[in-house]
Amino acid sequence: MMAASTSKSPVPIGVAHFSSIMLPPAEFAKIARRAGFSRIGLRLHPAFPGAPYYELPVGSAAAAELKAVLAGEDVEVFDIEFFVIDPAFDASSVEATVAAAANIGARRLSVCGDDPDHARLLSNFSDFCVLAERYGLAVDIENMGWRVVKAFADGIDLVTEAGMENAGVLVDGIHFFRNGADLADLRANLDKVKHVQLCDVAGPAPTKPEEMIAEARSGRLPPGEGELPLDDLVAAVGTAASISVEVPLVGSMAPEVHLKHLFGCAERMVGQDR
């Protein structure tokens, strides 16, 4: 068994549940804390049909167990994934999940936009922000190359148009750089960037949707082990946004080892710039 860490980074660094999605929330919190992380993200809603996620209904034993672990381990839940705003999206249908997120102390909810009807996309995104605000939560839109909200600029435009005070943009290393954005774009819109997820990648950018999906789900590398200018990204963000890591575990490595390695990579990168 991996020895427990006695310290964590003086700069809060989070880790996305997708980095070790096979771990139930309470176990993920414990192992993430031992690795050095002080924040976690959790998957309480499926990111795509058949995707793994965990339910933590308000008042459930699972939610109570997690809250006890969070308090005992000195870890907080930062964000909850993942809501797809597609043509069938209805904010009221996910209220129980939003309530569950607030119940465990989460701060933000992550979404993507995948509705070609822009007026409906804007309306549903705004409705979700209104719902989130009732529970004291904020909403971040993440661009993905195979979705309607493909590029960083698309997310910025949606947040600007919505005009919701609790709306922001999530910058994911792969999705940001692979879909045409650069650091000048980031600096020009830094007031809307609330969360940055570090991950790296190497090789030519995929052009087909299925290749983009494969890279995002199984082709990520730990920060600093690929070709993306993540040091510059972290420096540009400074203290304006929260930092986390999202690199899915692929292969037979133990989750404890994987998360510890991710923390070390992120700490080296974040520590020199924040």
CATH code, 213: 3.20.20.150
- Identify the burial level of 61 via C-beta atoms within 10 angstroms of its C-beta, where 0-12 means exposed, 13-18 middle and 19 or more buried: exposed
CA-to-CA distance for 9 and 74, rounded, in angstroms? 13
pLDDT in the model for residue 9: 58
Q: What is the average per-residue pLDDT within 127-148?
A: 98
Residues 17, 43: contact at Cβ < 8 Å?
yes
pLDDT in the model for residue 8: 59
pLDDT in the model for residue 68: 98
* DSSP classification of residue 46: -
pLDDT in the model for residue 5: 45
Cis peptide before 82 (omega within 30 of 0): yes
CA-to-CA distance for 241 and 195, rounded, in angstroms? 5
Model confidence at 48, in pLDDT bands (50, 70, 90)?
confident
CA-to-CA distance for 210 and 208, rounded, in angstroms? 6
1 within a domain of the structure (yes/no):
no
CA-closest candidate to residue 18, choices 67, 68, 82: 82
6 within a domain of the structure (yes/no):
no
| Range name among 46-55, 89-98, 255-264 with the lowest pLDDT average | 46-55
pLDDT in the model for residue 271: 77
36 within a domain of the structure (yes/no):
yes
Per the prediction, the chain carries an average pLDDT of: 94
CA-closest candidate to residue 197, choices 232, 234, 238: 234
List CB contacts of 105: < 8 A, sequence separation 6 or more: 67, 70, 76, 77
Q: How many domains does the chain have?
A: 1
Model confidence at 4, in pLDDT bands (50, 70, 90)?
very low
119 within a domain of the structure (yes/no):
yes
Dihedral-angle region of residue 115 (phi above 0 means left; psi in -120 to 50 means alpha; beta otherwise): beta
Q: What is the pTM of this model?
A: 0.92
5 within a domain of the structure (yes/no):
no
135 within a domain of the structure (yes/no):
yes
Burial 118-130 (b: 16+ CB within 10 A, else e): eeebbbbbbbbbe
| Range name among 6-15, 34-43, 128-137 with the lowest pLDDT average | 6-15
Residues 18, 40: contact at Cβ < 8 Å?
no
CA-closest candidate to residue 19, choices 230, 231, 217, 252: 217
Give the C-alpha distances (Å, rounded to integers) separating 23 from 96, 115, 258. 22, 31, 12
pLDDT digits (tens, 9 = 90+) for 199-219: 999 999 999 999 999 999 999
188 within a domain of the structure (yes/no):
yes
Residues 181, 153: contact at Cβ < 8 Å?
yes
51 residue type, one letter = A
Helix (H) or strand (E) holding 128: helix 118-134
Model confidence at 10, in pLDDT bands (50, 70, 90)?
low
265 within a domain of the structure (yes/no):
yes
Q: How far apart are the first and last CA of the chain?
A: 32
Range of the domain at 53: 13-271
Helix (H) or strand (E) holding 79: strand 76-85
Question: Is it the case that residue 3 has pLDDT exceeding 80?
Answer: no
